[in-house]
Amino acid sequence: MMVSENFEARLMLGVGILLIGFPWFADWLDEPYLVSTASRIWIYALAAMSLNLLVGFAGLVSFGHSAYVGVGAYVVGILAWHQYEETNFLGLPGTLEGFISIPFAMIVSGIVALGIGALCLRTRGIYFIMITLAFAQMLFYFFVSLEQYGGDDGLMMMDGRNKIPGLDLGEDRQMYWLSLVALGLATWFLRRLSMSRFGMVLHALRQNETRLKAIGVPPYPYMLVAFVIAGALAGLSGALLTNHMEFVSPDFLHWTRSGDLLIMVILGGIGTWTGPILGAIVFLLLEEFLPLLFQEIGLYLFSEHWRLVFGPLLIGIVLFAKGGLHALVFKQMKGVDGAFAN
Amino acid sequence: MALLQIEHLHKRFGALAATDNLSLQINQGELHALIGPNGAGKTTLISLLSGSLQPDSGLIKFHGRNFLQVPETIRPRLGLVRSFQITSVFPEFSALENVTLVLQSQQGHSFRFWKVARNDFELRSKAKEYLKQVGLDRESEIPAYALAHGQQRQLELAMALALEPKLLLLDEPMAGMGPEESLKVVELLQQLKGKITMLLIEHDMDAVFSVADRVSVLVYGHVIATGTPSEIRENKEVCSAYLGEHEIPVAN
Amino acid sequence: MILLIEQLLNGLQFGVFLFLVSAGLTLIFGIMGVINLAHGSLYMVGAYATAIGMQWTGSFWWGLLMALPAAAFTGWLVELVIIRQLYRRDHLDQVLATFGLILFLNELTTICFGRAPLFLSLPETLSISVEILPGLLYPLYRLLIIGTGLLLAFFLYLLISHTRAGMLLRAGTTHREMVEALGVNLTLLNTGLFVLGALLAGFAGALAGPLISVEVGMGENVLILCFVCIVIGGLGSIRGALFGALLIGMVDTLGRAFLASGLRLILPLDFADSIGAALSSMSVYLLMALVLIFRPQGILPVLGRVR
Ligand SMILES: Nc1ncnc2c1ncn2[C@@H]1O[C@H](COP(=O)(O)OP(=O)(O)OP(=O)(O)O)[C@@H](O)[C@H]1O
Ligand SMILES: [Mg+2]
């Protein structure tokens, strides 16, 4: 749609290719744990990206997105647990094969999104926000009450990460590459999607639902399909997250996680391509390094209670920094299209 | 022959009867103007016809078929198309994209996920034709929000036309336009006349009386008179109820 | 039978709680158009104020009395500093800003009072049970909560439907511009309303103090349940909030009490227990799903308002 967007896409591709080399850079810095931090960032960026499809493109503010991340995460965890225990789940054996459990996680998340979306999408606006939140909470309690799978405490992946032929996910670098590639593919897929006829309908939906109906397009099925796609991609990110942490718990579905994902999208720049990624990077880096920073400069109170700073920071960003980091980074390059930001 | 038949239509908003026992018939091929003071219920009627509002009681027949159960999003495909009094376009899309989206919806469902929509040159050139028809071909790449008010009204019209209506419901298409632009729209209406049946709501009496085949007068949600422009001009009831405040234009 | 009545009373009491918090939430949304996630934090403030007041004075009553100004003051401050900026913003901004507010308030509470939950004990006079039916002993305190809550609901009803302020509030829900045009100071009205909502939530927190543990994050769980209540009842309507809250209170309490044992009759034992536990914790949300299928606008929506 815009010239600058093409530029942005090429920039992303370039930076993405450079990032393949990041593990060696971390080695060179002698900080190998950074590889693990970076994997986490890409996994969350993927979740934020999928949420952006709803919030940024279709204009649907879902406040329960962590539910689909959590469902995907639990699918991988539960399959691994049955494999370890050598028991069956509904007559099916467990598995540690990534080629089975990761796509299966996406499918289950997609189906859950279909069910919940079918109900939530009967409403709009504030109702939609509250109901997506409520259903996410329902799934949270559902997993809490699953005593068999650890209840509150969650599940460990006793046999380690999933197996994928040709990869050794047990090694942090390979986990990193898998996460990066997943994010890259998802971004590419969503970009194509956004430019397709389907994408045009979603963009139109955000701008003017009344008119969309008047030209003969029923919004509901399009929103539902978008909801399912977003759910499945969130499920993918959940599947990767379980692998990365070798652990899953109801905490993955906690409602504040949904809030975190929304923040990443807004912080980075709603409805943009690099936005959710930038948002995830900055959010998780702040989370990780803000306490250290306060420690460094001697503000010990804040180093333990960094959220005291983070909360108001958030409010400030919402109230005063429209367009998020994306607007900050790409402002100069936008030219004529700059006006789109508002 | 009646293309659209409205019988005893009622619609209340709380205590207010916005549409009150309204009956009206629109014949195939005619340009039927609907006039009436502010708040008479003209827009409400259009919304009832387009399906964005449901009537409390009454009947709407299109092509002799009961239309009440037909969902809002199906009606445009059957040829019943509305435009909006308050401009309602997709502001972030360019003028061309606005019309392309309409054409895309004309062609059936949009569950196409992979091919890039803007590379569909056939659709684009068709869209350009409609923009040209309303005189907006030079502005095709400008995002709708950046268009001047009159140009947005033109785009509104192009989007309605792109749906290839059999019956076009025009809700004050010239509202807020300059005199020159209005003139262009009147010319366009004259061109379309006979090809498309139209229900035209308009406050500009000169325009109404010069293009309409028949005129209906709506007051308090009820049609008080229907007839040719000259009949309406001479109708006493209409004069006292409505036209009294206006200057009655002399036929030219 | 005795057990059933006891659980019904428990459900009623829980419902009354939910109503006290929901009432403010639904009014604030209905009239100001603001969705305030931090409303649960006001509930938390009420509970903490009671706990602290009790530690200082040793009297539960003083604690209870302290909760009101504390919650009102917090509410006033929050409205002044944050909510006021959000009236004309879209819902997404409101959600995020008030989410940030929750993070802040929770952290502040942790700094002041630590992470360990506080427990309140009731004064002797209140911690007795009374025999309300032959063979049915019920805690006096819970009965008092039910009574107070219903009384408050009644006063709220009077306030909304029989006073000038209430009339303006109701008018403001549907015809905001009109009320503004009449020269009514909506800013003042909004602040007043917000403080009223804060008072109710704070009072609910104070009452809840002795029944549950007072801890950081207690507000959010209640908040999400309240969302369910007002969605079921119909957004912006006090009657709807009352109805939704009582319904949710009942369903949740009865579900927890009887679902598992009921399932045992038809399913194998351990299976019934795990399904029962899962179902009872999800029951209110399933109820919400049902309402959404049949009445997406809620059961008692505000009349004359287009969603
Ligand atoms: N959704 C609604 N809810 C309540 N009242 C409405 C609604 N829509 C319209 N009305 C009322 O119904 C009456 C008719 O409105 P309508 O918009 O149909 O008039 P109109 O003839 O199109 O007027 P105008 O010439 O100003 O466009 C008005 O009094 C209006 O206030
Ligand atoms: Mg009108």
* φ, ψ of residue B201 in degrees (nearest 5): -100, 130
The 10s digit of each residue's pLDDT in A228-248 is 999 999 999 999 999 999 999
The Cα A14–Cα A16 span in angstroms is 5
Radius of gyration of chain B (CA): 18
Q: Please report which confidence band the pLDDT of residue A179 belongs to, taking 50, 70 and 90 as the band edges.
A: very high
Report strand pairing: B222-227 vs B65-66: unpaired
Nearest of C20, C84, C304, C78 to residue C172 by alpha carbon: C304
Residue A276 per-residue DSSP state: H
Mutate which of B9, B11, B13 to test ligand 1's pocket (most atoms within 8 Å of Cβ)? B13
Distance B44 CA to ligand 2 centre (A): 7
For residue B208, how far is its CA from the centre of ligand 2 (angstroms)?
16
The CA dihedral of C231, C233, C238, C242, to the nearest 10 degrees, is -120
pLDDT, residue C4, reads: 83
Domains contained in chain A, number: 1
- Tokens representing A187 are 């971004």
pLDDT value at position A304? 78
Cβ–Cβ contact C306 with B under 8 A = no
Q: Tens digits of per-residue pLDDT, B92-144?
A: 999 999 999 999 998 888 888 888 888 888 999 999 999 999 889 898 899 99
Which of C89, C1, C39 is CA-nearest to residue C198?
Answer: C39
Asked if pLDDT for residue A338 goes beyond 50, the answer is no
Residue A31 is which amino acid?
Answer: E
- The pLDDT value recorded for residue A146 is 86
Q: Residues in chain C with pLDDT < 70?
A: 172-174, 176, 302-307
Taking only the tens place, the pLDDT of each residue in C157-196 is 888 878 887 777 777 666 767 777 777 777 787 888 889 9
Range of the domain at A227: 2-341
Predicted pLDDT at B250:
44
The number of angstroms, rounded, from the C-alpha of C26 to the middle of its chain's C-alpha atoms is 10
The pLDDT score that the predictor gives to residue A1 is: 43
Whole-model pTM: value is 0.91
Using alpha carbons, select from B78, B49, B62 the residue that is nearest to residue B3. B62
Structure token digits, residue A203: 């963009």
Q: Tell me which residue has its CA closest to atom 25 in ligand 1.
A: B38
> Pocket residues for ligand 1 (CB within 6 Å)?
B 13, 16, 18, 36, 38-44, 85; C 306
Q: Using an 8 Å CB-CB cutoff, list chain A residues near C228.
A: 130, 134
Give the residue extent of every domain in chain C.
2-294
Residue to substitute in B12, B20, B34, B44 for testing ligand 1 pocket (most ligand atoms within 8 angstroms of CB) = B44
CATH of C2-294, one of 3.10.290, 1.10.3470, 3.40.50, 1.20.950: 1.10.3470
Which residue of chain B comes nearest to A223, CA vs CA?
B111
Closest-CA residue to A39 (of A237, A171, A156, A177): A177
The CA distance from B13 to the nearest CA of chain C, in Å, is: 8
Average pLDDT of span A293-312: 81
Report ipTM (2 d.p.): 0.90
What percentage of chain A has pLDDT greater than the value 70? 95
Q: Indicate which atom in ligand 1 lies nearest the CA of residue B41.
A: 18
Residue A342 has pLDDT above 70, yes or no: no
Chain C positions contacting chain A at CB under 8 Å are 29, 35, 82, 85, 91-93, 95-97, 99-108, 110-111, 220, 224, 227-228, 230-231, 235, 274, 277-278, 281-282, 285-286, 288-289, 292-293, 296, 307
For residue B45, which ligand has an atom nearest its CA? 1
With b for 16 or more beta-carbon neighbours within 10 A and e for fewer, the A95-110 pattern comes to bbbbeebbebbbebbb
Per residue of chain B (252 residues), what is the pLDDT tens digit?
Answer: 788 999 999 999 988 899 999 999 999 999 999 998 888 999 999 999 999 999 999 999 999 889 898 999 999 999 999 999 998 999 999 999 999 999 999 888 888 888 888 888 899 999 999 999 988 989 889 999 999 988 999 999 999 999 999 999 999 998 888 888 888 889 899 999 888 999 999 988 888 888 999 999 998 889 988 999 888 888 877 777 665 555 444 443
Contact partners, residue C181, CB within 8 Å, separation at least 6: none
Please, what's the b/e burial string for B34-44 (b: 16 or more CB within 10 A of its CB; e: otherwise)?
Answer: bbbbeebbbbb
